[in-house]
């Protein structure tokens, strides 16, 4: 039986190869997964032209996935450095990579990432438009914006961020409601400017059906971008954010009518006490579609440490419904991240995702934690290193401070509780003072 997209297949009762792979990764019955894809509660971003992809599912009942942002800019145009980040991100088992390149001709780099990446690839086509056409933003036509989307589909991009919810009505809402940080989404600000400069409707909103036809052709998932996400804790859960979210819910239903998979993007910056309610709002207003959050960052005063502020918010967000975390690095708000920044961002995001999976009761989520606890009780250092999220760092820390007693570490020495209990319970001599 023929099908156009993963959602189309699911609604026809077909379990695709991609569904089989994802079901195995998630320890889930493939039929159950198919039903979730059919309902739109799980998306499997898998462009037909991405031949190296190892597919992943994003959504209800699945492990929380993480995304790594990278890409060149005018100030940092070295493609080789960004491709090295891709290689390392794949080694660190990130499930998604977004190429946010916004300078020059990005097609070559995008194609190289598709060729080498087993992770799903996302892009923001509007970033590419200015360089692709070598035109000022104001002079790009609605048709040209859509043609760039088609080009990304041809190149094998699995999911695209499209800020279709920023319509003229939303623009007026922004103007009526003051914010400290206005529009902080890069793509959102570009579209806002285009609409104001041309006095026209958002082309992605006005021509949403054409966009859906393009995405259906390649089975490219739309990540409906939150152009009006809060860029400060002061601006969270305000009229502009919620107005756009309502529109995203309406667009989600239109996409599903054409069997196009949808992910919803969310905040942003947000105080701890607002996160749970925001997760509920998204799931209600967007009909259970998978939710993808940047952070949220829970305080605005930690530049240099925003991988931590993001991980705190991300763990809470995923506990209460977010399905996909976009990593944040220590360089957030300061500069383009380097390789070490990226590694720290990945680790922080993976910790947040795993902590949330434990809280959500995701099948098998506690297994590694229980194995680590047993290794600690057994003082089995090699097992501890192998089970650690960053075993390399754990091994290095222990090597840098060698204990007198090889079983323990330099924190407790022979007073190590694990050593004490292991010896006492096995009937051995405790021997704390003697060599």
* Structure-block tokens of residue 309: 């502020």
- Alpha carbon 249 to its chain's center: 20
CA end-to-end span of the chain? 74
Side-chain half-sphere exposure of 121, counting CA atoms within 13 A? 31
Cα dihedral 279, 280, 284, 290 sign: positive
CB-CB contact of 421 with 411 (8 Å): no
Does an H or E element contain 69, and which? strand 65-70
Question: Among 272, 157, 168, which Cα is nearest to 223's?
Answer: 157
The single residue listed with the structure tokens 């570490």 is: 409
- List domains and CATH numbers for the chain: 6-360 (3.20.20.540), 367-425 (no CATH)
CB-CB contact of 159 with 135 (8 Å): no
| Tens-level pLDDT at each residue, the chain (435 residues) | 699 999 999 999 999 999 999 999 999 999 999 999 999 999 999 999 999 999 999 999 999 999 999 998 888 888 999 999 999 999 999 999 999 998 877 888 999 999 999 999 999 999 999 888 989 999 999 999 999 999 999 999 999 999 999 999 999 999 999 999 999 999 999 999 999 999 999 999 999 999 999 999 999 999 999 999 999 999 999 999 999 999 999 999 999 999 999 999 999 999 999 999 999 999 999 999 999 999 999 999 999 999 999 999 999 999 999 999 999 999 999 999 999 999 999 999 999 999 999 999 999 999 999 999 999 999 999 999 999 999 999 999 999 998 888 888 889 888 889 888 888 999 988 888 876
Give me the pLDDT at residue 334, please: 96
In the annotated binding site for [4Fe-4S] cluster, the residues are: 409, 412, 416
Residues in the chain: 435
Give me the pLDDT at residue 73, please: 85
Give me the pLDDT at residue 227, please: 97
| 8-state DSSP, 159 | E
Q: Residue 117 burial (CB < 10 Å; 0-12/13-18/19+)?
A: buried
**Residue-wise DSSP of 7-25:** HHHHHTT---HHHHHHHHH
Give me the pLDDT at residue 106, please: 85
CB-CB contact of 155 with 107 (8 Å): yes
**Residue-wise DSSP of 22-40:** HHHHHT--HHHHHHHHHHT
Phi-psi region of 156 (alpha: psi -120 to 50; beta: other; left: phi over 0): left
Strands 42-43 and 58-59: antiparallel
**Residue-wise DSSP of 279-291:** HHHHHHHTTT--E
Give me the pLDDT at residue 104, please: 76
How far is it, in rounded angstroms, from Cα 164 to Cα 253? 13
In the annotated binding site for substrate, the residues are: 69, 98, 127, 163, 185-187, 226-229, 265, 292
In the annotated binding site, the residues are: 69, 98, 127, 163, 185-187, 226-229, 265, 269, 292, 333, 409, 412, 416
Give me the pLDDT at residue 1, please: 67
| 8-state DSSP, 250 | H
How far is it, in rounded angstroms, from Cα 75 to Cα 336? 9
**Residue-wise DSSP of 213-235:** HHHHHHTPEEEE--TT--SSGGG
How far is it, in rounded angstroms, from Cα 195 to Cα 142? 11
CB-CB contact of 226 with 241 (8 Å): yes
Give me the pLDDT at residue 115, please: 97
Give me the pLDDT at residue 435, please: 65
CB-CB contact of 134 with 235 (8 Å): no
How far is it, in rounded angstroms, from Cα 434 to Cα 416? 15
In the annotated binding site for Zn(2+), the residues are: 269, 333
């Amino acid at each position: 039986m023929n099908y156009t997209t993963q959602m189309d297949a699911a609604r026809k009762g077909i379990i695709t190869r991609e569904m089989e792979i994802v079901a195995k990764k998630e320890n889930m019955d493939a039929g159950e997964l198919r039903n979730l894809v059919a309902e739109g509660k799980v998306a499997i971003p898998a462009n037909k032209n991405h031949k190296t992809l190892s597919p992943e599912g994003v959504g209800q009942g699945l492990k929380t996935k993480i995304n790594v942002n990278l890409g060149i800019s005018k100030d940092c145009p070295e493609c080789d450095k960004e491709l090295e980040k891709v290689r390392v991100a794949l080694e660190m088992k990130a499930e998604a990579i977004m190429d946010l390149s916004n300078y020059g001709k990005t097609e070559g780099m995008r194609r190289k990432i598709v060729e080498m990446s087993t992770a799903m690839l996302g892009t923001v086509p509007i970033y590419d438009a200015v360089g692709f056409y070598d035109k000022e933003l104001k002079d790009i036509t609605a048709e040209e914006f859509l043609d760039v989307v088609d080009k990304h589909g041809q190149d094998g991009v699995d999911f695209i961020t499209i800020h279709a919810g920023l319509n003229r009505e939303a623009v007026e809402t922004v103007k009526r409601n003051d914010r400290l940080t206005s529009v902080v989404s890069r793509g959102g600000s570009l579209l806002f400017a285009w609409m104001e400069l041309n006095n026209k409707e958002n082309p992605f909103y006005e021509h949403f059906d054409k966009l859906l036809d393009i995405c259906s052709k390649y089975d490219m998932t739309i990540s409906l971008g939150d152009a009006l996400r809060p860029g400060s804790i002061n601006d969270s859960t305000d009229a502009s954010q919620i107005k756009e979210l309502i529109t995203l819910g309406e667009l989600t239903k239109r996409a599903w009518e054409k069997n196009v998979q949808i992910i919803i993007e969310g905040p942003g910056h947000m105080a701890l006490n607002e996160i749970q309610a925001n997760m509920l709002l998204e799931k209600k207003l967007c009909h259970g579609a998978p939710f993808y959050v940047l952070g949220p960052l829970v305080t605005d005063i930690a530049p240099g440490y925003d991988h931590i502020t993001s991980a705190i918010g991300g763990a809470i967000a995923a506990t209460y419904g977010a399905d996909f975390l976009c990593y944040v690095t220590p360089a957030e708000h300061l500069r383009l991240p380097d390789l070490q920044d990226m590694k720290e961002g990945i680790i922080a995001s993976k910790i947040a995702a795993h902590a949330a999976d434990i809280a959500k009761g995701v099948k098998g989520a506690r297994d590694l934690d229980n194995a680590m606890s047993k290794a600690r009780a057994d003082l089995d250092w090699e097992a501890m290193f192998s089970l650690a999220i960053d075993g390399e760092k754990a091994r290095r820390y222990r090597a840098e401070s060698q204990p007198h007693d090889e079983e323990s570490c330099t924190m407790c020495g022979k007073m190590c509780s694990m050593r004490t209990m292991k010896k006492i319970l096995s009937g051995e001599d405790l021997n704390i003072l003697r060599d």
